[in-house]
Structure 1
Amino acid sequence: MASRFVDRAVIHLAAGNGGNGCASVHREKFKPLGGPDGGNGGNGGDVLLVVDPNVHTLLDFHFRPHARAGNGKIGQGGNRSGAAGETLELRVPDGTVVLTERGEVLADLVGPGTTFVAAQGGRGGLGNAALASKARKAPGFALLGEPGESRDLVLELRSVADVGLLGFPSAGKSSLISVLSAAKPKIADYPFTTLVPNLGVVTAGDTVFTMADVPGLIPGASQGKGLGLDFLRHIERCAVLVHVVDCATYEPGRDPVSDVDALETELARYTPSLGGDLADRPRVVVLNKVDVPDAAEIAELVRPEFEKRGLEVFEISTVSRKGLRELTFALGAVVERYRAEQPPPEAEKVVLKPLAVDDSGFTVEPDPEEEGAFVVHGTRPERWIRQTNFGNDEAVGYLADRLNRLGVEDELARKGAVPGSQVTIGDISFEWQPSTPGAVVHLSGRGTDVRLEGTDRVSAAERKEARRIRRDGPDEESDGE
């Protein structure tokens, strides 16, 4: 059974969740006040894409598109931190491009060992030992671990080839690559014999380059006809494009000049969607099958037309091997010129961009769905919400202190929020009760906060019912009672 070639795949990735921190107090005989000793939770594992030169297709992702890294372990007493989740490495071919579902390019993975963090694991929560302070000698809570990042990505394989062969079906591209390299593609005399791109390594003196045989193009390919446009991404990186023309074709209405013009038209229509600059790449015309007498005459007739356009022309025969040596060295020279013109590769630099002095890291905006309500956006507030155990009043009080120190309460007041206004941060909505600026946290029982004792907090169900009444009015049955 022949192996399948897959050059595009959609993958669904989930990084590992961070482990929860531990709330523990050291207990030992004759030491009743041992202090907090809860360890931190472990970080969730990342999902990495790593270039492996031994991988040549995206077939594995076609059959197994879902991948998940390991979760971090929870912290334990005795200041024992949880183990980090196992990082998942996914091996991809050289030349893989990572895109979002909307087509935005995230990474171009070229070169063995190149690594891209496709999904980042969640942070582990701090244990109560790390949360201890002068105000909270023995915190009765710990922070929750953050969920890992989940992403849907598109992988496209754009082969790293120096020379791309273009031509109609059965023009002789597979035969050419088979005689110039050690590649052994399927060769036959019927259209669309080649169903997958073939790569071969060619040596021309001291120059070694790769050649890609792309499945045949036909007129109308940009509208979905034929096979070739599905594989054009494999020639985007090529230094030179070679038009392989069948001079011995017996199809009516076809000749070498019209063949090249038709393929250039289809290439020009599709190039904008590739995002490359194929229009500027040098072209070479190869007039194939000149071992046939009629084909040799046609080659002599059309050669001046191509040379008039500034194209370099070679007459070859893959059967008699006529002109192959001249073609090989000519392509090697073009590849060398292209390589010399490219800027030297620069090592990737990690640029740290600190926040501006006046950047608070959050914004407060009116809630578009409810009058008098507000929504807080920001990396830190939303992360703190995910880390908070809302079943623990002391943890909720700690969250209030963090938001107050960040300036969220001052900004809410400036935007017109009043006590009782609904505030949404992340997935959590609550009624805002401003705390006293500069207030000292009073010591209380573990897991409790005196500021939250005795308050008439409205439950989520009651808030939902109140919103329904404001929107739809009271029920008819309640009006009649």
Structure 2
Amino acid sequence: MTTFVDRVELHVAAGNGGHGCASVHREKFKPLGGPDGGNGGRGGDVILVVDQSVTTLLEYHHSPHRKATNGQPGAGDNRSGKDGQDLVLTVPDGTVVLDKQGEVLADLVGEGTTFIAGQGGRGGLGNAALSSARRKAPGFALLGEPGEARDIVLELKTVADVALVGYPSAGKSSLISVLSAAKPKIADYPFTTLVPNLGVVTAGSTVYTIADVPGLIPGASQGRGLGLEFLRHVERCSVLVHVLDTATLESDRDPITDLDIIEEELKQYGGLEDRPRIVVLNKIDIPDGQDLADMIRPDLEERGYQVYEASAVARTGLKELSFALAGIVAEARAAKPKEEATRIVITPKAVDDAGFTVTYDEAEDVYRVRGDKPERWVRQTDFNNDEAVGYLADRLNRLGVEDRLMKAGARAGDGVAIGSEENAVVFDWEPSMMAGAEMLGRRGEDHRLEAPRPAAQRRRDRDAQRDDAQREYDEFDPF
């Protein structure tokens, strides 16, 4: 059964915003008291949060589909809908968030670090919020926006100061078990370690973490063995430690060749050339192991490596090794630039930035309008309501979409698409849309809510209507 997962594909969906409400206030002796439709609630976000107690992505391996709750719709009497609840997903320290194309979206390091993986949709405005001096009683409300839905990839890169690399059964797990309090699985067969082991080492005043990378063999960077799965766990380390087996029973192997092969795999993987290296000649408690260590040590030192001899069984050479690693880690930490205070970067909007673009799509034979505002307004429009459609036309006109379409060469009857190719609203453009109020009459004005006319005015209107009717009757000639 799988117990450790360091890479998963996660399908997240934020909550949809609640729809606004179109309502008219009614009470005794005041049946038409004005619009009182409330706004819809905001949809919940999907948030990733680093939790030090979480060490694997196993939970998302079994349940890769996660969705936040939707916002509630508004109601009459100016009651706004309840916001959707955010969905908080805990991830291990060192989790990298990528999109489907492999582009890094976030690198989550440090307890409490957060990333919004899915943005909840905005709630739609009710007709009370849409009313104005010119639009006294809107007969429509805005729809809630759909929440953001996308596929992301989570990759765990162990946050460790020291990484032990080497052939299977070289003794990496044994070294971690004696240098720290970690209790990894240890056995006398290859690929005993199937997951990276992590331990904490204290050497003087320096405390650092140490991890091993299981399964490195020739071709690991191309996917052989387990190396490709776990090489990412050495990317954050400050120092690489080559653990060489001086007592191997395989006749076709020797420590120098093992070192060259592992270095070649690290080179093929890339990005680790600047990390300092240390060589540990392990298993010197075995007589043949000590003899081999004495033979190859001068060659390794000639190559520029710091060489240490150790035995996890006899517990020899461990103190010198732990303090040497502590010194390198302390130097690496001191060399890191200090974190600067958070700066707010203000990017002024360009003078000619209209917030949208109009381009001609020859393949589809339409003029395509792209921009945050136009696309959001389209998503919030109820196209079954003529008044709402006219309101959208007015908004687009005020934004300047009509002018830009005319400048781009659009003519009456040409197709116009607002949005991406996958999810666009397409209509036949008519220049009359620039007078949206003319398209649907005096939109948003309800004569029932206007002040009553004086009696004299009502009598004059009735007389005028009677005279018009009589004149039409007199002029009617059936022959």
Mark yes or no: TM-score above 0.5: yes
Amino acid at match of 2:336: Q
Q: Which has the larger radius of gyration?
A: 2
Deviation per CA, 1:363-408, whole angstroms, max 9, x where unpaired? Answer: 111132344x311111111111000001111101100000001111
Give the superposition deviation at 1:156. Answer: 0.4
Secondary structure in structure 1 of the residue aligned to 2:431: coil
Residue in structure 1 matching 2:370, options 361, 377, 380: 377
Residue 72 of structure 2 corresponds to which residue in structure 1? 73
Residue in structure 2 matching 1:413, options 394, 406, 413: 406
Residue 274 of structure 2 corresponds to which residue in structure 1? 280
For the residues of structure 1 that align with 2:145 and 2:433, how far apart are their CA atoms? 30
For the residues of structure 2 that align with 1:18 and 1:195, how far apart are their CA atoms? 44
Unaligned runs of 5+ in 1: 272-276, 449-481
Is the contact made by 2:124 and 2:142 (CA closer than 8 Å) also made in structure 1?
Answer: yes
For the residues of structure 1 that align with 2:105 and 2:219, how far apart are their CA atoms? 31
In 2 relative to 1, CA 439–292 (structure 1 residues): closer, same or farther, beyond 3 Å? closer
Give the superposition deviation at 1:247. Answer: 0.4
Unaligned runs of 5+ in 2: 448-479
Matched, 1:340 2:334: yes
Amino acid at match of 2:321: L
For the residues of structure 1 that align with 2:158 and 2:346, how far apart are their CA atoms? 32
Is the contact made by 1:18 and 1:122 (CA closer than 8 Å) also made in structure 2?
Answer: yes
Residue in structure 1 matching 2:304, options 310, 314, 327: 310
For the residues of structure 2 that align with 1:445 and 1:78, how far apart are their CA atoms? 19
For the residues of structure 1 that align with 2:446 and 2:403, how far apart are their CA atoms? 27
Residue identity (%): 66
Matched, 1:396 2:393: no
Is the contact made by 1:166 and 1:216 (CA closer than 8 Å) also made in structure 2?
Answer: no
Secondary structure in structure 2 of the residue aligned to 1:284: strand
Give the superposition deviation at 1:348. Answer: 4.6
Residue in structure 1 matching 2:428, options 423, 431, 448: 431
Give the superposition deviation at 1:355. Answer: 2.8
Amino acid at match of 2:260: D
Aligned residues: 441
For the residues of structure 1 that align with 2:384 and 2:30, how far apart are their CA atoms? 29
For the residues of structure 2 that align with 1:258 and 1:447, how far apart are their CA atoms? 89
In 2 relative to 1, CA 341–406 (structure 1 residues): closer, same or farther, beyond 3 Å? same
Secondary structure in structure 1 of the residue aligned to 2:273: helix
Secondary structure in structure 1 of the residue aligned to 2:230: helix
Give the superposition deviation at 1:444. Answer: 5.0
Is the contact made by 1:16 and 1:121 (CA closer than 8 Å) also made in structure 2?
Answer: yes
Is the contact made by 1:140 and 1:446 (CA closer than 8 Å) also made in structure 2?
Answer: no
Residue 156 of structure 2 corresponds to which residue in structure 1? 157
Amino acid at match of 2:425: I
Amino acid at match of 2:251: P
Secondary structure in structure 2 of the residue aligned to 1:331: helix
Is the contact made by 2:390 and 2:437 (CA closer than 8 Å) also made in structure 1?
Answer: no
Residue 248 of structure 1 corresponds to which residue in structure 2? 247
Is the contact made by 2:417 and 2:427 (CA closer than 8 Å) also made in structure 1?
Answer: yes
Secondary structure in structure 1 of the residue aligned to 2:231: helix
In 2 relative to 1, CA 423–301 (structure 1 residues): closer, same or farther, beyond 3 Å? same
Give the superposition deviation at 1:298. Answer: 1.1
Is the contact made by 2:394 and 2:434 (CA closer than 8 Å) also made in structure 1?
Answer: no
Give the superposition deviation at 1:128. Answer: 0.6
Equivalent residues in 2 for 1:136-151, closer than 5 Å: 136-151=135-150
Residue 48 of structure 1 corresponds to which residue in structure 2? 47
Is the contact made by 2:120 and 2:148 (CA closer than 8 Å) also made in structure 1?
Answer: yes
Residue 289 of structure 1 corresponds to which residue in structure 2? 283
Residue 90 of structure 1 corresponds to which residue in structure 2? 89
For the residues of structure 2 that align with 1:116 and 1:106, how far apart are their CA atoms? 9
Give the superposition deviation at 1:440. Answer: 6.0
For the residues of structure 2 that align with 1:237 and 1:39, how far apart are their CA atoms? 51
Residue 198 of structure 1 corresponds to which residue in structure 2? 197
Matched, 1:360 2:354: yes
Secondary structure in structure 2 of the residue aligned to 1:126: coil
For the residues of structure 2 that align with 1:140 and 1:164, how far apart are their CA atoms? 66
Give the superposition deviation at 1:33. Answer: 4.0
Residue 327 of structure 1 corresponds to which residue in structure 2? 321
Is the contact made by 1:393 and 1:447 (CA closer than 8 Å) also made in structure 2?
Answer: no
In 2 relative to 1, CA 243–76 (structure 1 residues): closer, same or farther, beyond 3 Å? same
Is the contact made by 1:43 and 1:124 (CA closer than 8 Å) also made in structure 2?
Answer: yes
In 2 relative to 1, CA 439–69 (structure 1 residues): closer, same or farther, beyond 3 Å? closer
Amino acid at match of 2:393: A
Is the contact made by 2:402 and 2:434 (CA closer than 8 Å) also made in structure 1?
Answer: no
Give the superposition deviation at 1:353. Answer: 3.6
Amino acid at match of 2:323: F
Is the contact made by 1:141 and 1:447 (CA closer than 8 Å) also made in structure 2?
Answer: no
Is the contact made by 1:217 and 1:228 (CA closer than 8 Å) also made in structure 2?
Answer: yes
For the residues of structure 1 that align with 2:403 and 2:446, how far apart are their CA atoms? 27
Give the superposition deviation at 1:354. Answer: 4.6
In 2 relative to 1, CA 444–245 (structure 1 residues): closer, same or farther, beyond 3 Å? closer
Which has the higher mean CA deviation after the structures are superposed, 351-360 or 418-427? Answer: 351-360
Secondary structure in structure 1 of the residue aligned to 2:389: helix
Deviation per CA, 1:265-315, whole angstroms, max 9, x where unpaired? Answer: 0110012xxxxx311000000000111111111111111111112111001
Secondary structure in structure 1 of the residue aligned to 2:432: coil
User: Normalization by structure 2: what TM-score?
Assistant: 0.89
